[in-house]
């Protein structure tokens, strides 16, 4: 049997049989589910009543909006145009949660602005839009008296409501939830890489310290020992992730059916606002987090990319951990040189946050191309969605990451070979360069 397979099998069985592996496989996903449930509950706490000021300069609405029977939104009308800056800063508007600005061409362009004082839940925004749209329908039907209501529904177009922050009206109303969902996936990638990378380091250093490596190298090559360790421990990491995914998936299904049983109930769908150009229903969402997890994330696509980037990212960093484990001459060496390696992970986590906040910046583009940061930044950018003509960013970042793996493994193999049988020295950076030569 191939030596790589024998070593990989030994490492995999050793990891799988350990108590810490089994505990982490169970406690880890339960902890993630607990955090998600807390987010569901915390983000669901909203005000019971809302006040919306309607700016209607031409008195088009006649100071009327058709409210739902169970509506918790109170509308007040003003027959003048209100600038978003005035609404944000003027004391007399402090009691209002938002202002709905109606333009004089709304009957033709179906376009209004909703400026919020504080971020409103999608459920509330949806209700405001629906109640305003219903009033607009009444006005249009009155103007086109030769049409029936059914005929009008066939030609109507949904209202385009731009939701913006009253204090920053120039910014689009994108709450970046999708980006932060990708960021969460990216952080999990880095957590798995770091945990199992440390396993590679400790396993290598333990065998070096106990001189078992000398016995192993009598029958296998150093490169076979390193590849076997990386592959075996990597398979254990992949298995643990699959266990995580299974437990978390079952947990989310349980939450959906037992905590939110009416999430996809037909009675909870907005049938009135289903247009002929759309085959989908709109839902009265519970809150942003619930809507994101249960309605917006395509887990099949996201998990496929997640596993792919987890494998590539692990292969990139595992060589560094293996080389450091073989090269360190004492315990203090490992602690000394582990700090720069940890800094690379912190840089990656910062890069993911930066791309989530600044997706179109030049630095965000380059952070996707750097192998150290690409596993997390690609997840963030993919969750946000690549714009037209940007698909090559994803392809280029993956190609560069694969090339980085080959370069990294090559140099890590040289350090692993030189360091594994070296003893009685204090590791310095100069030693690395000497071995590389």
- The residue extents of the domains of the chain are 3-40+176-436, 50-165
Question: Residue 285: what pLDDT?
Answer: 44
Q: How far apart are CA 108 and CA 130, in angstroms?
A: 17
| Residue 76, SS3 per DSSP | strand
Cα gap 221→3, rounded to integer Å: 9
Predicted confidence at residue 367, as pLDDT, reads 92
Separation of alpha carbons 280 and 134, rounded Å: 20
pLDDT, residue 266, reads 41
Beta strands, E only, 261-343? 269-270, 282-283
Write out the chain's pLDDT in tens, 437 residues.
577 788 888 888 888 888 888 888 888 888 888 887 787 776 555 566 888 999 988 888 888 887 776 677 889 998 888 888 888 888 888 889 899 988 888 877 778 889 988 877 767 787 888 888 888 877 877 776 666 656 666 665 555 555 665 665 555 444 466 787 888 888 989 988 988 888 888 888 887 777 777 777 777 787 788 888 889 988 988 898 889 889 988 888 887 777 766 555 444 444 334 333 333 334 444 556 666 676 667 778 888 899 999 999 999 998 888 888 777 765 555 566 678 888 888 999 999 989 888 888 889 899 999 999 999 999 988 888 887 788 899 999 999 999 999 998 888 888 787 777 766 666 666 666 666 66
Q: Which residues pair with 115 in a beta bridge?
A: 99, 164
Q: Are 133 and 141 a contacting pair, CB within 8 Å?
A: no
How far out from the chain centre does Cα 343 lie? Answer: 22
50-165 fold: D-Maltodextrin-Binding Protein; domain 2 (3.40.190)
Rounded Cα gap, residues 22 and 18, in angstroms = 7
* Sign of the dihedral through C-alpha 415, 376, 237, 331: positive
Read off φ and ψ for residue 160, nearest 5 degrees.
-95, 105
Q: How far is CA 172 from CA 163, 176, 177, 345, 404, in A?
A: 7, 11, 14, 31, 37
Cα 408 from Cα 315, distance rounded (Å): 9
Asked whether 285 and 123 are in contact (CB, 8 A), the reply is yes
pLDDT at 150: 65
* Cα–Cα nearest to 5, from 239, 319, 228, 229: 228
Q: What is the pTM of this model?
A: 0.63
- The pairing of strands 50-55 and 98-102 is parallel
- Determine the Cα–Cα distance for residues 329 and 105; give it in Å rounded to an integer: 76
* Angle made by CA atoms 78, 83, 89, in degrees to the nearest 5: 95
What does the pLDDT read at residue 129?
83
Contacts of 52 (CB under 8 A, 6+ apart): 73, 74, 75, 76, 96, 97, 98, 99, 100, 128
- According to DSSP, the β-strands at 160-165 and 111-116 are parallel
Q: What single-letter DSSP state applies at residue 111?
A: E
Cα distances from 107 to residues 98, 138, 141, 327, 397, in angstroms, run: 22, 11, 11, 73, 47
pLDDT at 279: 37
């Amino acid at each position: 049997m191939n030596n790589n397979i024998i070593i990989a099998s030994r490492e995999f069985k050793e990891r799988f049989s350990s108590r810490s592996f089994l505990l982490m496989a169970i406690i880890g996903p339960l902890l993630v589910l607990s955090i998600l449930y807390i987010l569901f509950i915390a983000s669901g706490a909203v005000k019971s009543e809302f006040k919306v000021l309607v700016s209607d300069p031409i008195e088009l609405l006649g100071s009327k909006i058709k409210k739902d029977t169970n509506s918790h939104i109170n509308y007040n009308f003003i027959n003048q145009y209100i600038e978003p800056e005035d609404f944000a800063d003027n004391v007399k508007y402090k009691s209002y949660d938002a202002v709905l600005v109606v333009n004089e061409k709304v009957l033709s362009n179906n376009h209004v602005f909703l400026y919020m004082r504080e971020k409103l839940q999608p459920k509330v925004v949806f209700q405001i839009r629906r109640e305003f749209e219903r009033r607009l329908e009444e006005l249009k039907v009155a103007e086109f008296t030769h049409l029936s209501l059914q005929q009008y529904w066939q030609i109507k177009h949904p209202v385009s409501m731009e939701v913006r922050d009253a204090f920053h009206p120039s910014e689009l109303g994108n709450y970046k939830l999708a980006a932060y969902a990708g960021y969460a996936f990216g952080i999990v990638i880095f957590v798995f890489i770091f945990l199992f990378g440390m396993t590679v380091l400790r396993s290598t250093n333990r065998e070096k310290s106990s001189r078992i490596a000398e016995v192993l190298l009598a029958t296998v090559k150093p490169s076979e020992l390193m590849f076997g360790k990386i592959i075996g421990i990597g398979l254990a990491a992949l298995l643990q992730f699959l266990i995580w995914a299974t437990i978390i998936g079952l947990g989310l299904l349980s939450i959906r059916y037992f905590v939110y049983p009416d999430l996809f109930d037909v009675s909870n769908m907005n049938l009135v606002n289903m247009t002929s150009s759309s085959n989908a229903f709109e839902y009265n969402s519970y809150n942003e987090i619930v809507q994101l997890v249960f309605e917006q994330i395509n887990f099949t696509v996201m998990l496929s990319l997640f596993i792919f980037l987890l494998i590539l990212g692990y292969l990139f960093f595992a060589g560094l951990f293996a080389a450091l484990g073989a090269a360190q001459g004492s315990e203090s060496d490992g602690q000394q040189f582990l700090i720069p390696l940890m800094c690379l992970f912190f840089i990656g986590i910062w890069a993911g946050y930066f791309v989530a906040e600044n997706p179109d910046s030049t630095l965000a583009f380059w952070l996707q191309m750097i192998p150290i940061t690409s596993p997390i930044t690609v997840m963030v950018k993919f969750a946000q969605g690549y714009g037209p003509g940007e698909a090559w960013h994803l392809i280029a970042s993956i190609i560069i990451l694969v090339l980085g793996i080959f370069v990294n493994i090559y140099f890590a193999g040289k350090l692993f070979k030189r360091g594994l049988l070296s003893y009685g020295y204090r590791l310095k950076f100069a030693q690395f360069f000497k071995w590389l030569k």
